[in-house]
Structure 1
Amino acid sequence: MKSIFFALALIATGVQAAEDADNNPCDAVENDIQTLECSAYNKTTAEQLLKDNYQGLLERFRAEYAGNKTQLADITGKLQVAEQLWIKSRDADCAIAPFPAAVGSKAYIIDQNDCLANKSDERSEFLESLAQ
């Protein structure tokens, strides 16, 4: 239970750090706690960029298919299905990425955060490349 609260606190710290780019916890990493904070920050910023790129893609689709509601509904429906499948794949991959670290340990959380950040960055780049 303590590890859940610890993880939530780190996520909150990552969100706050993402809001203040000058306070990047990855600038001077010297110990495990700072590595953990950096991984949470990277995960949070990668997930925010992914959200932004997803919304940007939706906006491009809306602009491109503004005159054809049927095509717009079709392409956005396909995007939603693809996103749901990607989330399942990401979660499955990131569930095994921290192996053999013990669930809830610093190493586990760092590895999982790194996996989620990397997967989000890859997906973000892909979404950004669509409908250009």
Structure 2
Amino acid sequence: MKSMAWLVLLAVVSGAQAGEEESTPCDNVETDQQSFDCAAFNKQIAERELKSAYDDLIQRMRDQYGDEAGLESQIESAEKVWRQLRDADCKVETHTEQPGSKTFQSAWNSCIAQRSDERSEYLRSLDSQDRDEPAPED
């Protein structure tokens, strides 16, 4: 019985280590192509996290407020304006690169990833702000 428990423990530990050891295109970046691949990977991950943070916020607001005062519509509008600002900022940030080049695309992807990460953090913080505020007294 003891040996069976050790096998189960070993399998769990091995599975956890395998999850930690997954490689990404950002491991050991040494070439321009690897930098390009890493920037694309980071953009993809950041946009996925942004969508998740946005969807979570919409769901939290629906659960907490319903559609009180068109809150969902306000969030959608804010997100649309934010995306326009993000894209404009990234155009400024990448203005020295030749559009269509790998250098441009890497810089663009890195900018989008960075801004998306920042926005995800902000969207997630909205929930914590709501929970930290004391309930209004009647």
- Relative to the length of structure 1, the TM-score reads 0.77
Residue 41 of structure 1: how far off its partner (Å): 0.2
- Cα deviation for residue 99 of structure 1 reads 2.2
1:53 and 1:131 mapped to 2: Cα distance? 10
Structure 2: stretches of 5+ with no match in the other structure: 1-20, 129-138
Q: Which residue of 2 aligns with 1:125?
A: 121
Deviations 1:55-112 (A, max 9, x none): 100111011014xx4x0x6111110110010011111111221121111112111110
Matched ranges for 1:33-44 at <5 A: 33-44=33-44
Q: 4+ residue stretches of structure 1 with deviation over 6 A?
A: none
1:112 maps to which residue? 108
Q: Which runs of 5+ in 1 are unaligned?
A: 1-20
Q: Which residue of 1 aligns with 2:93?
A: 97
Greater alpha carbon shift after TM alignment, 78-87 vs 21-30: 21-30
Distance in 2 (alpha carbons) for counterparts of 1:119 and 1:75: 23
* Structure having the higher Rg: 2
Quick check: 1:25–1:41 contact (8 Å CA) kept in 2?
A: yes
After TM superposition, the score normalised by the length of structure 2 is 0.74
Kindly tell me the number of residue pairs found equivalent between the two proteins.
Answer: 108
How large is the Cα RMSD of the aligned pairs?
1.4
Name the % identity: 41
